Amino acid sequence: MAAVSVPHGLAVRAPRPGDGAAVSALWRELWDVHEGWGGYPGAKDDLTYARVQSRIEHEARARQGSVALGRHLHLVAQLEGQVVGQVEGWSDRYGVDPSTPSTCEVRSLIVTERARRFGAGAALLDALGRAAVVVAAGPTVLAAEVLEPNPAHSFYARCGYVPVAFNLRKKTAGAIAKPSARVAQPKDALAIAILESALAHRRKRAGDARFDPPRAVDATWLGAIATHLQNGSHVPTELVAQDAQGAVRASATLVVMTLDPPFLPVRRAALTRLSVDPAIDPSELVGDIVELASNIASRWGAETIEITDLGPPGSPLWEAAARTGARPWSRVVVRHWLPSGLR
């Protein structure tokens, strides 16, 4: 994973000791821009970014010239001796099936305006993809979450990324939980397993290979789900919604966390893995489960909640979630890599 040379005198390489100040300044610019697009607020004080600089310097020494430090990948772009861009990646696996590729989450991509015409952003993503397949020792999906107001959508498309999931966000204030939605219990294990299979089919149709393909429901899987549901107060929290006959027809996972610096320490809530029985109209049950999740998230201190892993605008789940007052927030775009190059 040595430095990767590209045209116009641009070089992409691992961070080195001495890069901390430049990279920290790029982070500060990135967080300011994201907040302007409606993203979560970032710190404004110099002390926070001095700590970021110190961490980058420490990690650069530990890397010893390698892009990868454990599962964390970090690259900078250099032009005329100056650091003009950076990108990070986190390599992980979201499934247990041998056919499921690793995923490298693209994070904190930013390039100074003067360096963009030299292709620094594309060079950083290309180098990250090549490094990620080495770390994973196999096929890898590079995935980036891009806020809707971000003008980089066309840039990612030019780099070969395609959208596979869409996310909405709404305020949690005033949400009222309805009786048809509740926290899941061990007795819901079979219904949740069936809904998980429906979710896997939907992801497969969308071209989202980050997660396991559909699997058969068996006793081992049911037992694992039931054990997970023993404590209904844990985080993440599994939620379900029932039809008029009391049958569970929808499920989702609620996650609430506190953001780390350089974000301000606000609470972030996300309703993930939303799945509805494909045989029914999702409108009412999606609304009920979103309202319950919003109510719980509000009690846990989150002012907004993201509703993630939806289909594109106009799809049934997206429309059902939008009727709760949620607005477009972001989308996930992906590109597939093999050890021998791009597929």
Domain boundaries, the chain: 4-160, 169-332
Distances (CA, A) of 92 to 135, 143, 312: 10, 11, 25
What pLDDT score was predicted for residue 15?
97
Amino acid at 159: C
What pLDDT score was predicted for residue 245?
94
* Fold of domain 169-332: Aminopeptidase (3.40.630)
What pLDDT score was predicted for residue 337?
96
Q: 4-160 and 169-332 share one CATH topology?
A: yes
* Fold of domain 4-160: Aminopeptidase (3.40.630)
From 45, 43, 58, 52, select the one nearest 21 (Cα to Cα): 52
What pLDDT score was predicted for residue 8?
63
* pLDDT tens digit sequence for 190-244: 999 999 999 999 999 999 999 999 999 999 999 989 998 987 556 689 999 999 9
Alpha-carbon span 131 to 91, nearest angstrom: 10
What pLDDT score was predicted for residue 234?
62
> What is the secondary structure of 66-104 as a DSSP string?
-SEETTEEEEEEEETTEEEEEEEEEEE----STTSPEEE
What does DSSP assign to residue 42? B
What pLDDT score was predicted for residue 1?
46
Residues of the chain with pLDDT under 50: 1-5, 341-343
| Phi and psi torsions of 253, nearest 5° | -115, 130
Structure-token pair, residue 82: 């100056």
